[in-house]
Amino acid sequence: PIHQQVLYYYFLDL
């Protein structure tokens, strides 16, 4: 299946 990570996975949550 194809999935899509949320942005928090890549970028630091300040």
Residues of the shown chain interacting with another protein in the complex, contacts defined by CB under 8 A: 1-14
User: Minimum Å distance from CB 2 to another protein?
Assistant: 5
What does the alpha-carbon distance between residue 3 and residue 7 come to, in Å, rounded to a whole number? Answer: 13
User: Minimum Å distance from CB 9 to another protein?
Assistant: 7
Q: What is Dmax (Cα atoms) for the chain?
A: 31
The label of the residue with tokens 């194809």 reads 2
User: Minimum Å distance from CB 7 to another protein?
Assistant: 6
Q: Which two three-digit tokens encode residue 5?
A: 């990570």
